[in-house]
């Protein structure tokens, strides 16, 4: 971590992937430079928000010249470690696990999937993407040999309770958690990013009935 | 919308599904009453945050007696309209669409899935859960006849651009959006809740390398 990153708040960090997406798009459209005003318009935020966010990292804009798209994208990639290959396993290759495994470009986001596990005999041994699903009983040995740092949990809450404890003991330090088990609450030392699709759906339900709130929701 | 809901900020609304989950769990454990202190401990937040959040809705606690779990859950259900059945369609029955359709209890979150659509001949006609996938070419007629209010988009960005415009014209008012197309930016009038799994994954990448930030991330 460089000195100028120290003060970055999580609110800013959470916005960086969105900058990353929009800048990737600009780059693919061969846009070389963009002003904070144009970028703001495109992203539906204010120019001052953009300047403020990017200033956290020392700013990369030059007054009157805007941002160099490739340089800024490169810098955000560095901050988010998207070129890293953190050894990652996925547990639970049901519908959600299968979708996550095939849908998301882990290797372009800083992760490298090195194993997929399930307990169902009908799934174990099958191929999903470039992976052969192994039995979850082999997980402990796999961890000792391959030392995964990250686990994606696409399993029910009850299974997540025991498995996360075992994985932490076996060296896993971060979880991408699709289960409803609150890992961080019980293991304060590990890194957890929760994906609660049900919560998102319930927020949509609220917004459907309170459309006047919709704009503010979208930008967070 | 009742009078005492008017001042509810989106930050509070976004936390309500989490209250809903924890209270559902308490109810299933036959807990009748809980103090804000106990609930706070269980949820990993402060008691004052809980009192503040629930006060937005007129509060439901009684000084010294805590909250009645069933009553509070009922009230949050009402605020989030989880007992509603908003007519909903899902478009794109690939891996992600299939996972969403089979994984999530829409009917317990305020929605009723009335149709699933895809453009691939290998998927059209197949059964997913209790739905037979129809061709996306029949979507316009379907909308005229069945008037869906909500669409779940599990399609690539390019397809989302044209389809969302068509759906809005056909009366759809809210989107649960898994695509990377920013619907709200181009159609300010509609309600959108985005699910950007890639953004979540990139945030995890940051946290893996800055574990000291992890606690603050989890509670948001």
At B152-210, the pLDDT tens digits run 999 999 999 999 999 999 999 999 999 988 898 889 889 999 999 999 999 999 999 98
Q: If you ran DSSP here, which 8-state letter would residue B130 be given? A: T
Section A172-201 average pLDDT: 92
* pLDDT of A64 above 80: no
* pLDDT of B1 above 50: no
Check if B7 contacts A (Cβ < 8 Å).
no
Q: To probe the interface with A, which of B1, B7, B10, B22 has the most A CB atoms within 10 Å?
A: B10
Check if A150 contacts B (Cβ < 8 Å).
yes
Per-residue pLDDT, B13: 86
Which of A162, A163, A158, A161 is closest to A89 using CA atoms? A163
**A residues 36..75 contacting B (CB < 8 A):** 43-44
Quote the distance between the C-alpha of residue A39 and its chain's center.
Answer: 23
Name the more confident of A42 and B147. Answer: B147
Section A25-40 average pLDDT: 93
Name the more confident of B206 and B6. Answer: B206
Rounded to 5°, angle at Cα A99 from A220 and A206 = 35
Among the partner-chain residues A1, A84, A208, the one whose CB lies closest to the CB of B86 is A208
Question: With an 8 Å Cβ cutoff, are A13 and B206 in contact?
Answer: yes
Strands A150-153 and A86-91: parallel
Name the more confident of B206 and A11. Answer: B206
pLDDT digits (tens, 9 = 90+) for A156-179: 999 999 999 999 999 999 999 999
Per-residue pLDDT, A210: 86
Q: Provide the pLDDT confidence category of residue A61 given band limits of 50, 70 and 90.
A: low
Residue that is written with structure tokens 């953004």 in the block: B199
Query: CB atoms < 10 A from the CB of B29, how many?
Result: 8
Measure in Å the smallest separation between the Cα of A179 and chain B Cα atoms. 11
Q: What sign does the dihedral A130-A134-A140-A144 (CA atoms) show?
A: negative
Q: Which ipTM was obtained for this model?
A: 0.90
pLDDT digits (tens, 9 = 90+) for B60-115: 566 667 888 998 899 899 999 999 999 999 999 998 999 999 888 899 999 999 99
Question: What are the chain A neighbours of B176 within 8 Å (beta carbons)?
Answer: 200-201, 204
Section A59-87 average pLDDT: 85
Q: To probe the interface with B, which of A12, A161, A205, A214 has the most B CB atoms within 10 Å?
A: A205
- Torsion angle (degrees, nearest 10) of CA B4, B80, A216, B92: -160
Name the more confident of B214 and A1. Answer: B214
Determine the residue of chain A that is closest to B214 in CA distance. A191
Among the partner-chain residues B99, B190, B195, the one whose CB lies closest to the CB of A96 is B99
Q: Provide the pLDDT confidence category of residue A219 given band limits of 50, 70 and 90.
A: very low
- In angstroms, rounded to a whole number, what is the distance separating the alpha carbons of residues A214 and B189? 9
Name the more confident of A94 and B213. Answer: A94
Q: Provide the pLDDT confidence category of residue B9 given band limits of 50, 70 and 90.
A: confident
Which of B208, B195, B44 is closest to A172 using CA atoms? B208
The enclosing H or E element of A177 equals strand A174-177
Per-residue pLDDT, B57: 63
Check if A33 contacts B (Cβ < 8 Å).
no
Q: Provide the pLDDT confidence category of residue A29 given band limits of 50, 70 and 90.
A: very high
Which string of DSSP letters, residue by residue, matches B56-91?
Answer: TTT---BTTTBEEHHHHHHHHHHHTTTT--EEEEEE
Q: At what angle do helices B10-28 and B69-79 cross, to 10 degrees?
A: 140
- In angstroms, rounded to a whole number, what is the distance separating the alpha carbons of residues A175 and B73? 29
Question: With an 8 Å Cβ cutoff, are B81 and A205 in contact?
Answer: yes
Per-residue pLDDT, B23: 94
Q: Provide the pLDDT confidence category of residue A7 given band limits of 50, 70 and 90.
A: low
Q: Provide the pLDDT confidence category of residue A140 given band limits of 50, 70 and 90.
A: very high
C-alpha to C-alpha distances, A127 to A32, A93, A148, nearest whole angstrom: 41, 10, 20
Q: Provide the pLDDT confidence category of residue A2 given band limits of 50, 70 and 90.
A: very low
């Amino acid at each position: 971590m460089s000195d100028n990153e120290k003060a970055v708040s999580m609110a800013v960090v959470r916005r960086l992937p969105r900058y990353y997406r929009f800048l990737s798009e600009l780059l693919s459209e061969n846009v070389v430079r963009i002003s904070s005003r144009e970028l703001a318009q495109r992203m539906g935020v204010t120019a001052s928000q953009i300047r403020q966010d990017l200033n956290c990292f020392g700013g990369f804009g030059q007054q009157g010249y805007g941002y160099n798209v490739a340089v800024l994208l490169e810098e955000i990639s560095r901050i988010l470690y998207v070129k890293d290959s953190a050894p990652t396993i996925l547990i639970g290759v049901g519908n959600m696990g299968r979708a996550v495994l095939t849908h998301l470009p882990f290797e372009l986001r800083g992760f490298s999937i090195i194993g997929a596990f399930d307990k169902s005999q009908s799934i174990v041994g099958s191929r999903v993407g470039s992976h052969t699903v192994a039995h979850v009983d082999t997980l402990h040995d796999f961890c000792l040999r391959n030392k995964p740092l990250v686990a994606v949990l696409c399993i029910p809450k009850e299974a997540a309770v025991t498995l996360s404890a075992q994985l932490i003991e076996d060296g896993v330090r971060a979880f991408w958690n699709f289960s409803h088990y609150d890992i961080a609450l019980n293991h304060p030392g590990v890194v957890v990013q929760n994906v609660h699709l049900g919560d998102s759906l319930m927020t949509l339900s609220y917004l459907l009935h309170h459309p006047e709130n919709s704009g503010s929701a979208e930008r967070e």
